[in-house]
Structure 1
Amino acid sequence: MSCITPVIPTSLTGCKRVLPALLLALISAHSQAASDSTDPIRLGVMQGFPPAMDKRVTRQNAFEMPNLRWALRNARALSATTGIRRAPSPLMLKAGDDSALDPLQFSVGEQSLTLAQYLHDTCTDGFIVLQGGKVVYERYLDSFGPGQLHIWASMTKSVTGVLAASLIAEGKMSPEAKLASYVPELVGTPFGEATVQQNLDMQVEAVYPDKVPPDIGLFAAAGIVPRKPGMPDSIYSFLQAATLPATASATPIWYYQNGSPEAVAWAIRKITGKTWAQLVSERIWSQFAEEDAYTQIDALGTEMASGGMSSTLRDAARFAEAIRLAQARTDGKSPFVQGVQLALSPKDNQALIAQSAKARDRTGYSYHDYWYQKNDGDGSIEAAGRFGQRIYINPKRELVIVKMSSAPDLAPRPTSAGTAPAVPRQAADSTAAFNSMVSALIPALR
């Protein structure tokens, strides 16, 4: 699958560095080859007053290409949202030397790709690399720009994990307590009967009805896709639709799904008396962000804490950089710093993760508080989301990478642990490919 063509951003022109003519020629040649571009603006998606009938994006067709690319950049145009407030003094991102990384080569299986080809083939919208807090590489692709917001998808879970961990660090939430002790409405449900920590680590044996899968069922409940008969009409009712298995597993399981973070977010609201968005604004986003973010909400105003957040690429990078800096803090720990340090404390559950169908390409990883721990000797951590969203943080090398993408992904998610094979992905969009890219990038930045 081919998607897009790299564009050199104007945001790094302060570096006063001109790319070599050879590199520009390579990029130009790649641009000419990308005749199957899915740039929504060039293709006229939602352009005109009014847009042509066959170019309109609706809830019915938003997951189809090229509509998906427009939809992930304009989530608030398709469903209700609520705001997340920026910082009064945002974290400064200094301009470093604009690294000429476009021709960087690495292997994906038996194929060799340049970084520019990789970004194209994985439908990347925006890609940024920070080293020591400095922007050393930044690309915006196919009409996506620095001022636009983009969906985070399941990277939102990692925000919820930090938020929950901050309350645990303050003693306001017990990780060993049943979640139903905070949310009585979830008594008898898999989320309520599991502990807070089991929910945070995706170790909940939930069984979803066939008509209410953990992805589309939630999207319908939040008003993102049309709701079919029998589907819940709110996030709270979505959580109450899941049931316990007829026979519990004899050993712990790892089942990645959307119910657990939504249940944790419900508990957070009950404990604090505030909305998820208010708390994210106060405890997280206001610590570093340059622009307001937003998140999708259901008909009751309930935020989709497992996947509804949108921000600019640079603010996503600021979030990752703030996480990196907070990990090393030893003085005056704020709720944000406390949450980061607890959420990212080492977890030894690699074997459990490797058994999961969802995580067959996550061999060697651990998972804690909605963060992946890479166990690479550098203390690296990752957040990931549907359609190719990635945050990579390497504390030892002071490295941050953020990738915002629109890779088509219509594969249904399993309705219970072990009931479906791993979600099929093209080779270039796999975790292995991302890791290969990172492994090539690190020595190139030295």
Structure 2
Amino acid sequence: MKLIRYTFIFTLFCILLSCSSDNESSDDQDPQNEDIYFPPLNSDTWETKTISELNWNEDQLQPLLDFLEEKNTKGFIILHNGKIVVEEYMNDHNSNAIWYWASAGKTLTTALSGIAEDEGFIDISNKVSDYVGTGWTNAPLEKENLITCKHLLSMSSGLDDEAGDDISPANLNYIADAGTRWAYHNVYVKMQDVVAEATNQTWDDYFNLKLKAPIGMSGSWFALGSLNVYWSNTRSMARFGLLTYANGMWEDQQIVSEAYLNEATNTSQDINLAYGYLWWLNGKSSYHLPQSQVEFPGKLIQDAPNDMYAALGKNDQKIYVVPSKKLVVIRMGESADEENFALSTFDNDLWIKINALID
């Protein structure tokens, strides 16, 4: 009897071991479990993945592309875990042509501010005047000294947001104490001065050294009045989106700390729940829009995934990052419908089309 019992136990053990081995082998071959892919630096090489590999709805690709072309799109990319699934150029654009990021480029300022903090040059909890001196606003000194770098990154400086793009001191007037009012405001660009002063380098030089070169981006900053606008090809925007999706990693190098990016892509203040550090956040219970103090109920983009966060620029420049679906989606072009500052009805319309493809 003992021999039969031991033989049975041994046989059962072998069966379980075999099943475990089969499962491990299956997992290793599952493309959903693959490592994040990073395209090589200084190369046009970028590995691709087919729609059929992902079991997406291939018959929904052409309707998506037709919609994009109709809506004045120039460049469009979908990455899945870093690999290109869709890459299309239209309306007289091509893979080498450059286009402006507009306010989607605010998130470049977020990233570089994080790098400067990681390197010990700044602390975003410190007041802005610690780095650029006092008198950078027209607010009373005690009110100006309430404004921290984090307030600039979270759009909660309390400064007047109705003076347009001019951020000279005369146009930066006090409205409310920092942290008590959210307003979409180009005063965020003062963070570029903070970083330049703290690192004792020009903004462009520090950006090129610490962010652009390490992830293989192309492109340049161009001054537009008091603003600094980034222009690049579509793939460079995709590289930056991929860096953020990968929690600040590029291959084996931590470019921006994961802890900082986690802060940047979560609610940064208690007024506009759908805003991090210059990143827009989906899936929150309410949101504010540029040039409005109205709180709207519901999530920012109804048909987009709840965990999506986005860089949104004037006239529908888009970087969507969706960790749950391993997606980075890029859209460059003219305004899809009417001119806009960031969010538009196009966002939701586009996600309806994307969902038809990927679900």
Length-normalised TM-score, structure 2: 0.70
Q: Deviations over 1:149-193 (max 9, x none)?
A: 111111111000010011222332122211011111544446954
Output aligned runs, 1:246-285, within 5 Å: 248=176, 252-260=180-188, 262-285=189-212
* In 1: Cα distance, 2:354 partner to 2:94 partner: 24
% identity of equivalent residues: 20
1:406 is aligned to 2:334:
yes
Aligned residue for 1:337, secondary structure, equals coil
Amino acid at match of 2:276: H
* In 1: Cα distance, 2:224 partner to 2:64 partner: 38
Aligned to 2:349: 433
Amino acid at match of 1:441: L
Cα distance, 1:128 vs structure 2: 0.8
* In 2: Cα distance, 1:242 partner to 1:397 partner: 43
Aligned residue for 2:206, secondary structure, equals helix
* In 2: Cα distance, 1:239 partner to 1:438 partner: 42
Aligned residue for 1:174, secondary structure, equals coil
Q: Deviations over 1:104-133 (max 9, x none)?
A: 29xxxxxxx932343134311111111122
Aligned to 2:78: 129
Q: Describe the shift of the 1:287–1:328 C-alpha distance in structure 2 as closer, same or farther (beyond 3 A).
A: closer
Aligned to 1:417: none
1:97 is aligned to 2:55:
no
Comparing 431-440 and 165-174, the one that deviates more: 431-440
Aligned residue for 1:309, secondary structure, equals strand
* In 2: Cα distance, 1:280 partner to 1:174 partner: 18
Q: Describe the shift of the 1:424–1:132 C-alpha distance in structure 2 as closer, same or farther (beyond 3 A).
A: closer
1:293 is aligned to 2:219:
yes
Amino acid at match of 1:400: V
Aligned residue for 1:344, secondary structure, equals helix
* In 2: Cα distance, 1:185 partner to 1:432 partner: 43
Q: Describe the shift of the 1:249–1:198 C-alpha distance in structure 2 as closer, same or farther (beyond 3 A).
A: closer
Cα distance, 1:434 vs structure 2: 3.5
* In 2: Cα distance, 1:92 partner to 1:287 partner: 16
Task: Answer yes or no: is the 8 Å Cα contact 2:74–2:93 preserved in 1.
Answer: yes
Q: Deviations over 1:197-241 (max 9, x none)?
A: 0111001222256xx413xx4xxxxxxxxxxxxxxxxxxxx3313
Q: Deviations over 1:248-305 (max 9, x none)?
A: 2697221112112x11111111101111111221111112226x31111268xx8x44
Q: Of 198, 202, 210, which residue of structure 1 is paired with 2:155? A: 202
Q: Describe the shift of the 1:103–1:350 C-alpha distance in structure 2 as closer, same or farther (beyond 3 A).
A: farther
Aligned to 2:244: 323
Q: Deviations over 1:331-390 (max 9, x none)?
A: 9763x232x64133253358622xxxxxxxxxxx63222112324887432111001100
Task: Answer yes or no: is the 8 Å Cα contact 1:295–1:309 preserved in 2.
Answer: yes
Amino acid at match of 1:138: E
* In 1: Cα distance, 2:178 partner to 2:223 partner: 37
Output aligned runs, 1:342-361, within 5 Å: 342-345=260-263, 347-348=266-267, 352-353=271-272
Task: Answer yes or no: is the 8 Å Cα contact 1:131–1:398 preserved in 2.
Answer: yes
Aligned residue for 2:324, secondary structure, equals coil
* In 1: Cα distance, 2:239 partner to 2:179 partner: 39
* In 2: Cα distance, 1:267 partner to 1:348 partner: 23
Q: Deviations over 1:292-332 (max 9, x none)?
A: 31111268xx8x44xx1011111211221122223578x97
Amino acid at match of 1:325: A
Amino acid at match of 1:406: E
* In 1: Cα distance, 2:339 partner to 2:101 partner: 17
Cα distance, 1:196 vs structure 2: 0.6
Output aligned runs, 1:177-216, within 5 Å: 177-189=126-138, 192-193=144-145, 194-207=147-160, 212-214=163-165
Aligned residue for 1:156, secondary structure, equals helix
* In 2: Cα distance, 1:125 partner to 1:101 partner: 23
Q: Of 242, 263, 273, which residue of structure 1 is paired with 2:171? A: 242
Aligned to 1:371: 279
* In 2: Cα distance, 1:263 partner to 1:189 partner: 14
Aligned to 1:14: none
Aligned residue-pair number: 291
The Cα RMSD (Å) is 3.4
Amino acid at match of 1:163: L
* In 2: Cα distance, 1:370 partner to 1:90 partner: 30
* In 1: Cα distance, 2:129 partner to 2:247 partner: 31
Amino acid at match of 2:260: L
Radius of gyration: which is bigger?
2
Aligned residue for 1:366, secondary structure, equals coil
Task: Answer yes or no: is the 8 Å Cα contact 1:91–1:289 preserved in 2.
Answer: no
Q: Describe the shift of the 1:440–1:97 C-alpha distance in structure 2 as closer, same or farther (beyond 3 A).
A: same
Structure with bigger helix share is 2
Aligned to 1:235: none
Task: Answer yes or no: is the 8 Å Cα contact 1:177–1:196 preserved in 2.
Answer: yes
